Amino acid sequence: MRLPHIRRIATVAAAGLLLALTACGPNSANDEPAASGASASTGADASAFPVSITHKFGTTEIKAEPKRVVTVGLVDQDALLALGVVPVATSEWFGEKPGAIWPWAEAALGSAPRPQVLTSTDGIQFEKIAALNPDLILAMYAGLSDEDYAKLSKMAPTVTHTKDQVDYGIGWQELTRTVGESVGRKAQAEKLVTDTEALFTKVKQEHPEFAGKTGLMATTYEGYWVYGTQDPRGRLLTDLGFTLPDGLDEVTGKEFGANLSKERTDLLDVDMLVWIVDKYDADKKKVESDPLYSKLKVKTEARDLYVENLEQVGAATSFISVLSLPYLLDKLVPQMAAAVDGDPATAVVRAS
């Protein structure tokens, strides 16, 4: 299973997990590579190198501060930008934003040149990565094969997630810390994590009603797909105080998520359910008209809410990072609060 965002975009979703979108805009993969931003050469701790990073495939040594970083991981660029490092290339996931930079990361990019965008339609673009002459390749939120890693590590020191994490399962905290250590900004990364965790603490203080309530994130890929305990979307809920439904791990197994059989539709009957959909109105109507779903209390008591994955709130729900989370919590939490009260008269106001 290669890609974590099961509903990539409405026009290609039916093609399944292995499809990827093409890059867009003037900084597509066919353009000249953008130079790393000026901030990439400042702010690193000179004593941080050499550094050794242990991960799924072994240990990678980074001998000096990286100047030309390529991100193969689909959200890794946000951690870099938050640390003042502009990658020379990013990997397109969904949304086709110039440079693969979403609006919540624009301020961190500033006036620096946008990265070149790599696509994954036919797998990792090894030749284009090699041509960029990287000195660090990050593949944190990714699913590298042994062969992928062997090829990339011959080009430059390559860092990915650890063995105890499923592909596309690394949490934003560890991703940020590992990226920070890789680029000599360990202290800055720790402050980013601490400051962002403080936002979660604030939300939990303001919404004690979340504590102990069951929550779930799902989408409409080939029926119903649910995100599990090893997925950043599932952990977003637990970080806010929710608990995931009993039996979820039995369904998702060793993956970040899985399809539900009709016999397990009961797992959707939680205190608060977030649907990530391609088309808000059409997909909401489709879900609500399902005879199995329409009888559940999550529907009859209006405990569910919908986000469209190409709108900014929906995108941030999947693209979880230190840069997207402040925006996401501000926009999504009020909808969760309206849904979790179980009162059908409480309107869930769709955030723009």
Q: Using pLDDT thresholds of 50, 70 and 90, give the confidence band for residue 11.
A: very low
Q: Is 184 exposed, middle or buried (0-12, 13-18, 19+ CB in 10 A)?
A: buried
Q: What torsion do the CA atoms of 256, 236, 334, 202 make, to the nearest 10 degrees?
A: 180
- The pLDDT mean for the chain works out to 89
Is pLDDT at 3 greater than 90 in this prediction? no
Q: Note the pLDDT tens digit of each residue in 98-148.
A: 999 999 999 999 999 999 999 987 899 999 999 999 999 999 999 999 999
Kindly state the helix (H) or strand (E) to which residue 4 belongs, with its residue range.
Answer: none
Largest CA distance in the chain: 62
Asked if the bond preceding 50 is cis, omega within 30° of 0, the reply is yes
Q: Using pLDDT thresholds of 50, 70 and 90, give the confidence band for residue 33.
A: very low
Is the overall model pTM greater than 0.85, yes or no? yes
In order of their start, the domains of the chain are 13-185 (3.40.50.1980), 207-340 (3.40.50.1980)
Full DSSP string of 221-282: TTS-EEE-TTSHHHHHHHHTT-BPPTTHHHHHTTSSEEEPPGGGGGGG--SEEEEEESSHHH
**What Cα–Cα distance (Å) separates residue 337 from each residue in 19, 140, 226, 234?**
35, 32, 21, 17
Closest CA to 102 of 253, 254, 338, 318: 318
Is pLDDT at 1 greater than 80 in this prediction? no
Separation of alpha carbons 343 and 99, rounded Å: 43
- The predicted pLDDT at position 18 comes to 27
Joined together, the tokens standing for residue 198 give 């403080």
Instruction: Give the pLDDT mean for 215-233.
Output: 95
